Amino acid sequence: MNCFRFPWFLENSPTQIYKKLWVSSAIKDRQVEVRVRFEIISYCPVGLFERLSVQINDLVTRVTEWKDGTLVRTLNDRLLLLQRTKEHNVTYLLLATRVPGRELDQGWADLMPIVNKAAGLLKEWPGVLSYLFVDCGHCFGRLDSQEWSNLSSREIGHFPGEVLYTDRPVHLTCPRTGDDINPALVYPSSPPRKSNPGLLSDVGMLCLAKQLGKEWKSLAIELGFTLAEIQRLQSDNPFSTEDSIFSMLVQWRRRQGASVNVSALAAALTAAGRKDLADSVLEHL
């Protein structure tokens, strides 16, 4: 088992295998590159790169390594590059993979666990100043490999690291050229839409019932209940208003069937004078 990485056993410069498999194979296979870059300012923690390199052992097999880089193969047989470069007082930690354009989602799925490991490691040094960027994959196709490798090149558009944890937008433009680009080049596959089953679950309804007071009848009317139905809810639950409210909400949910939605509930809450609850309901969307 490879628990340690001994830099003194490694070649100083990038290996031939790396040059062959990575540098010179970029364009010919019509691949695109997704590349995430940590910029660590002034002081890069000793051993960060080495520890990351070791931590990903369970995710990859090693293809080749040198002092400042590792080329690995993921379980899905994709090449992935970890590289450290230094310019002036900035250390760059690059994590990149290359995929055919239609496999961007899978590329991100391979890369993100490693990005998250790196981010986690960096947190262990709270004093270290680091920034996270996503380089514009569209620019990769526009530049030759030398220019693309030059991280301080002004020809590379980049996005703040937050995009990695934000829902993928429908449209995106390159910050460098203003061209419309495929959002999947920059945003990892969109997380499943939060449908929030919680709020419309029995527990969610009960929680809402507890927060409602005498305005519950207005809410019921807004939700389409008749006065007779409201009286029925009361007489069915003579000892507890909360139970009346809960029954009302559950009935409403049943009536809506598949089209049940939180926005309608929020609108009714607002109309019944409980904008505060409407807001907190919508916050969970």
Applying CB under 5 A, the residues found at the interface with Zn ion are 136, 138-139, 157, 174, 176
Query: Min. distance of Cβ 177 from Zn ion in angstroms?
Result: 6
How many Å apart are CA 106 and CA 110, to the nearest integer? 6
Q: What are phi and psi of 92, to 5 degrees?
A: -105, 135
Alpha carbon of residue 160 to chain centroid: 12
Minimum CB distance to Zn ion smaller for 78 or for 176? 176
Minimum CB distance to Zn ion smaller for 5 or for 138? 138
The residue behind tokens 């926005």 is 263
Question: Where does 94-172 have alpha helices with state H?
Answer: 104-123, 137-142, 145-149
Residue 63 in contact with residue 17, Cβ under 8 Å?
Answer: yes
How many Å apart are CA 61 and CA 71, to the nearest integer? 9
Residue 51 in contact with residue 121, Cβ under 8 Å?
Answer: yes
Minimum CB distance to Zn ion smaller for 171 or for 193? 171
**What are the tokens at 135?**
């380089």
Q: Name, in order, each residue with C-beta under 8 angstroms of 236's C-beta and a sequence gap of 6 or more.
A: 244, 247
Minimum CB distance to Zn ion smaller for 99 or for 136? 136
Minimum CB distance to Zn ion smaller for 56 or for 156? 156
